[in-house]
Each structure stands twice: as C-alpha cells, then as structure tokens.
Structure 1
Amino acid sequence: MTIDWTNFTPWTSLSGGLLIGLAAALFILFFGRVLGISGIVGGLLRPAAGDIGWRVAFIFGIFAAPWVWLLLADPVSVTIEANTPTLIIAGLLVGLGTRFGSGCTSGHGVCGLSRLSPRSLVATLGFMAAGFITVYIVRHALG
C-alpha cells in the first residue's frame, strides 16, 4: 500500500470529523433527535405537523455546503470510476440497506456509537463488513 502524499489531508479530514461530531451533539442537545441523514430525508415522505421546515433547511445545508467551500477554497478534483447504472444501483442498495438497518452510517455510526448503543454497533459493523466485502469482490475477485 502506498499513500498519495499530495492528496493526504489529515487536518482537513479531522476538522470535518470534528464538525460532524459537534453538529450531532448539538442536534441531539437542542432537538432531542439523532442526526441521521436517512431519517431526516425519510421524514419528508411522511412528515409530522411542523416537521418539514427544519428537515428542508437541513437538506438545503447539505447541498449548500460545497458551494460555500468553493467560496473559501480551491475546487476539489473528483474522479468517479463507476458508470451511471452502477451508481444508481449502488444508491438504491444503500437506500434499501438504511431501511433494513433502521438507519444510516451517520445515525448508527456517529450518533449511535457515541451513545453506546449495541444495536448501532451491530449495524455499523454490518455496514463496514459489507463495504469491505464489496470492495474486495469488485476490485480483486471481478476486476
């Protein structure tokens, strides 16, 4: 294994992780809710009264953040090596997995693990194992 030192960004990554952790802590402190993206988006499909505004604002923030980044820093070079059908299938499988797992990596991996939830530990281990196995199969067994 080699490290691409040109694109190795530990401080940026650490800062991003700290911001996600801070946002999750503040969200549960002020709203009493877990900061899980699939739950926030899923709540728009069957919203409760007075529940739409904050969900839309949160999702807007997710889409606005890269544009704010572009105002502050140079654009990031992104390379996607998968074709469009593969990305669509992957997205649908992730969505299906969040429904079966009753949450996503942000809900279970960030918020659930920090609350020492055994269910979130099992879910996160399952997410990670599925990712490891998928990468191994796609890159080594098939590729």
Structure 2
Amino acid sequence: MKSNEYVDDGPFLIAGTHINGDKIQWDECQHITEFRYEESPEIMLKVRDLIISKDGTIGRIAYVDQLPGPATINSTMMLVRLKSQDSLCSQYLFYFLQGEVFQKLVAERMSGSGVPHLFQADMKQLIVRAPQDVRKQKKSPRF
C-alpha cells in the first residue's frame, strides 16, 4: 500500500503487531481508505472470525468478538471463517488453536527458516478434534 492510502479515520487495517495476547488492540490499528477496504470483500472481518499472523512472527491468534467499525487484515494475516457454526464453534476453534497441536505446527514452521511463514495449506492439514455436540464445545472454554 502507498502511504496516501493510510488515513486518520476509516476502516481498520489489522496486522500481527495489533494482537496483544489474544485481543485486537483497536486503538493501535491503522486505517485505510474506503476504496482499499472495498477492494477485498473476502477479507472484510465479521464477528466470530479468527485471524492468525502468518508471516514473520507467526501464530498470533485473535478472536473477533466485536467490531468497532469496518475492518480488514493486511497481507501478513490469515482469516479463518467457519462456513457454519453447526458442527464447529468458532470460539472452540480459537481455543484449540492456542493449544499444543497448533503451537507445534507453528514451532515447526519457525525452525530453520529465515522468514517464518505459515501457509494456508498448513492449516488445511490441521486436524481439529472437538466434541460433536456444539453445545459441549461452547461449555468448554479451555482444554
């Protein structure tokens, strides 16, 4: 992006550096023009989305529990959006990704690489173990 595409007010642009712990630091996010935001509707954030840093410092995860306005992610981030909440609860997936299985994947990608990168193909290989009953998933905030 060019410097003139960053603005003082407008849609939020989230990078990995804007995730602290598991929360998006909205007051630290940059803003972009409405034109740039509208350009990529596939990465416009929705409540219950997960975002993961995939370049450089990989594996930072945030659960989008609220949106203070229109928001999107930059190219260092990956969006994970469930097609349906019928068989897997996004909050359960969020907690699963903070666990040992995903963290092992992140550690493997970080070792021996100049610039660590997490690929979408890596995520497709990830097996998520969850109770079949979504109500049970919602009762289990952590493993």
Give your verdict on TM over 0.5.
Answer: no
TM-score tier, shorter chain, comes to: under 0.3
- Please, what TM-score do these two structures have when normalized by structure 1? 0.27
Which one has the bigger helix percentage?
A: 1
Which one has the bigger strand percentage?
A: 2
Higher RCO, 1 vs 2 (CA within 8 Å, ≥6 residues apart): 1
Larger Rg: 1
